[in-house]
Amino acid sequence: MRIILDGMGSDDCPEPEVNAALQAARTFGDKITLVGPENQLKHRLDALGATETEIRLVDATDVITMKDKGISLALKAKRRNAKNSMAVGMDLMVNGDADAFVTAGNTGGALATAYYRLGLIKGVERPALSVFLPVKDGQCLILDIGANPDCKPEHLFQFAIMGAVYVEKVRGKKNPRVGLMSNGEEAGKGNQLIKDTYPILESSDLNFIGNVEGKELYGGEVDVVVTDGFTGNVVIKTSEAVAKLITDMLRTELTSSTRTKLGALLAKPAFTSIRKMMDPAETGGAPLLGVDGLVYIGHGRSDSRALFNAIRVARQGVAANFLGELRTAIQGRLAKTPTPEAS
Amino acid sequence: MRIILDGMGSDDCPEPEVNAALQAARTFGDKITLVGPENQLKHRLDALGATETEIRLVDATDVITMKDKGISLALKAKRRNAKNSMAVGMDLMVNGDADAFVTAGNTGGALATAYYRLGLIKGVERPALSVFLPVKDGQCLILDIGANPDCKPEHLFQFAIMGAVYVEKVRGKKNPRVGLMSNGEEAGKGNQLIKDTYPILESSDLNFIGNVEGKELYGGEVDVVVTDGFTGNVVIKTSEAVAKLITDMLRTELTSSTRTKLGALLAKPAFTSIRKMMDPAETGGAPLLGVDGLVYIGHGRSDSRALFNAIRVARQGVAANFLGELRTAIQGRLAKTPTPEAS
């Protein structure tokens, strides 16, 4: 498999990228393509003894940073001769020279670059950002988490197909349960978007279990949660903030007396296993769905372990021929399901 | 002060209601009005030795349950001669016979009953459900959390005024910081509703701090968070679910070995103080804002302590003359701030 890693993605780049690329090459026996400024990457690779069989270094003199936004970002993403690592990396995919692109860089940048350079899969109107959330006894894929703040029912239907195909074909979860994020479980609950989307999902051949709330999501009762990018973004950021509040409070309380300090010391294995579950580095990266190429986006705070895991999950997407499966599914399902005229 | 408690609100009613009413009467020296079926309440009050100086019992033969919804609920809420405890209780307020109504019953029922019987404050187009969330070093009022799944910018502006007046006049927080829940902190982030609401809040005389995300909300950086009822509902239910997931996992992990069990035992005071912070019984009840009467809604799982606390916070609302303050503020602020023509 031919995986590309953006050499300039993470907050601490390029150190974690160089390490992760080399570790992946040595673990999986694949040559990893690392894209970024040669003058920053070459000597680091040499210092680690990386060979040309292990790492292909592709020079990209520019970079999209976390500060890029708006029109300057769009130009970096779109320009034909753009020299930033995302554009150069994705162009390799366009040329059939690679199978998947992994980055821990600016999410909006990756989204825009993929949109302009790879285009969308036929039948998909909007790309979606996704993430696997840690839930009771497993993980749940939620999408969109930020690409489309305003959506139409047919967009949510497409997100449902994309999410279900990913979870089924790549994760091996048969007939994944698809839920619609709402403000109540009963059919008929929701804002206008949810009310208009519900019948489309209900009449589709997806395993639609209806509206879901936080308790179904985190209770492990649903495999794919579909929502607009505004709500999805609020869900993941609220979740992070609540988890942080509780763990911060625990830390404060547990160090407040000698007794609780001792208790915390003894209970340490319990905390470690929870921290591990909540750690985004465990999942590595999440697929950008709907674009015509495999793109995985990791957290900006990714370390080399997170990036290594992102390469690992990207390999799963390639192995499962996710793009091919998605193209087929989108064509088949959109043809079968009526789209409401009004929307 | 003349507080009414719905005798048939909580899941375990009327036991907790009877206890809370009597405790409140004895603690605050106010006569509490308890509304509900005399044949269920009278003998319980007698058994506790409640006097007529402490409790005024008002008979209401019908009840709105958690199962009531749709048209049957609307009829119970609206009918002139309705005999359910919410309708009878709120009618006492309409007749000037009470200052505030407290219930732990069906939220939609309380909302509909208040809407039909009390009406809205002049200038308010939509009532809003609110709740105080536990955040770092304090509490944050979030509204709407479910009354209005679809909102217009002027509704959110009215919610902002209502929330700010409540937090300032009742909670005594000077010049409360008002934030708009969004998918990014920067101005310009958001769905269309947020983009249209932002300039209205910015040009108002509210202490508008801009868009906020989960981290500002739970980080204690904002006093009032304004959102549509769909998003607000998703926020509170997601928060509850994440908190439950983490505490459930902790419980499982902490009882997984003798070592961690001992640690948990020693660390118990830390867990107790966190459980207390997350416990909705501590805040008691949240105001239903925008209706022309003071209505407080508690959690369905309220016990007598939660109901007692709800009466306590209702008394604060009465003492601060919240309704009068809100009427004045709404008139003054709506007159001053231009409403966009397009919305």
Q: What is the pLDDT of residue A195?
A: 97
- Angle at alpha carbon of residue B224, lines to B220 and B225, rounded to 5°: 90
In this prediction, residue A343 has a pLDDT band, given cuts at 50, 70 and 90, of very low
Cα distances (Å, whole numbers) of residue B289 to A6, B150, B229: 50, 17, 13
pLDDT of residue A289: 97
- Using CB atoms and an 8 Å cut-off, which of residues 59-118 of chain B contact chain A? none
Quick: pLDDT tens for B25-83. 999 999 999 999 999 999 999 999 999 999 999 999 999 998 898 888 999 999 999 99
Q: What is the pLDDT of residues A225-279, one digit of tens each?
A: 999 999 999 999 999 999 999 888 888 888 888 888 888 888 888 788 777 777 7
Short-list A182, A246, A234, A239, CA closest to B239: A239
Chain B residues touching A215 at Cβ < 8 A:
237, 240-241, 244
Give contacts of B243 with chain A, Cβ < 8 Å. 242, 246
| Cα–Cα distance, A83 to A64 (Å, whole number) | 10
Per-residue buried b or exposed e for B324-333, using 16+ beta carbons within 10 Å of the residue's own CB: ebbbebbeeb
Q: Please tell me the predicted confidence (pLDDT) of residue A342.
A: 42
Select from B253, B249, B248 the least CA-distant residue to A270: B253
Report pLDDT for A339.
Answer: 53
Binned average pLDDT, 10 residues per bin, chain B of 343 residues: 96 96 97 97 97 97 91 92 96 96 95 97 95 92 95 97 97 97 93 97 97 97 98 95 89 85 83 76 85 94 94 96 95 68 44
Q: What is the pTM (predicted TM-score) of this model?
A: 0.92
Domains of chain B: 3-125+280-327 (3.40.718.10), 128-279+328-336 (3.40.718.10)
The predicted pLDDT at position B300 comes to 87
**Does the CA dihedral B173-B312-B272-A261 come out positive or negative?**
positive
Question: Is A234 in contact with B257 (Cβ distance < 8 A)?
Answer: no
Structure tokens at A186: 């009963």
Q: Cα–Cα distance between B211 and B222 in angstroms, integer?
A: 10
Query: pLDDT tens for residues A271-301?
Result: 887 777 777 667 778 899 999 999 999 988 8
Nearest residue on chain A to B233, judged by CA atoms?
A: A183
Q: Which residues of A touch B278 (CB under 8 A)?
A: 246
**Distance in angstroms (rounded) separating the CA atoms of residues A87 and B63:** 64
**Mean pLDDT of all residues in A294-316:** 94
pLDDT the model gives residue B264: 83
Distance between CA atoms of residues A155 and A124, nearest Å: 8
ipTM of the complex: 0.91
Q: What is residue A105's predicted lDDT score, i.e. its pLDDT? A: 94
Beta carbons of A194 and B247 less than 8 Å apart: no
Cβ contacts from A onto B, under 8 A:
193
Q: Across the interface, do B267 and A270 touch by the CB < 8 Å criterion?
A: no
Place of tokens 């320009």: A79
